[in-house]
């Protein structure tokens, strides 16, 4: 009688117990996405490329913040062979470097180098 009735309620009691446990349980933490850097635009990628190439060539003599004459020659001849006239002629590249070297210290800072990029971009776009 009564024992059988109590046992027949057991599945219902277990179901109710699991329902209340689930209802009162804390929700599982949201799945965290690994942090992805934002997608770079074409212009941002171009700037990163220019800065990266400057640093790569500037590091040749141990000083990574300026381009020596040899580093500038190497950069121009390998990276700008069609944009810089006579890029394979050391005398022509030296003359170009002198025109960019505002403080006449025989090396180019990034800002001095950036003048060349501006000139080349203007010429390429037909602005000058």
pLDDT, tens only, 79-120: 999 999 999 999 999 999 999 999 999 999 999 999 999 999
> For residues 5 and 13, is the Cβ–Cβ distance under 8 A?
no
Please tell me the pTM assigned to this model.
0.67
Q: How far apart, in whole angstroms, are the C-alpha atoms of residue 90 and residue 98?
A: 12
Sorting pLDDT into bands at 50, 70 and 90, what band is 128?
Answer: confident
> For residues 49 and 79, is the Cβ–Cβ distance under 8 A?
no
Q: How far apart, in whole angstroms, are the C-alpha atoms of residue 107 and residue 112?
A: 9
């Amino acid at each position: 009688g009564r024992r059988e009735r109590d046992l027949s309620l057991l599945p219902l009691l277990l179901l109710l117990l699991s329902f209340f446990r689930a209802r009162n349980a804390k929700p599982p933490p949201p799945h965290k996405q690994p942090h992805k850097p934002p997608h770079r635009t074409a212009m941002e990628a171009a700037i990163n490329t220019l800065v990266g190439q400057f640093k790569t060539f500037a590091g040749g003599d141990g000083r990574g913040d300026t381009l020596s004459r040899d580093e500038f020659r190497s950069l121009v001849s390998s990276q700008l062979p069609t944009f810089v006239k006579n890029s394979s002629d050391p005398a022509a590249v030296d003359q170009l470097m002198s025109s960019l070297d505002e403080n006449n210290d025989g090396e180019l800072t990034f800002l001095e180098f950036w003048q060349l990029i501006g000139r080349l971009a203007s010429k390429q776009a037909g602005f000058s």
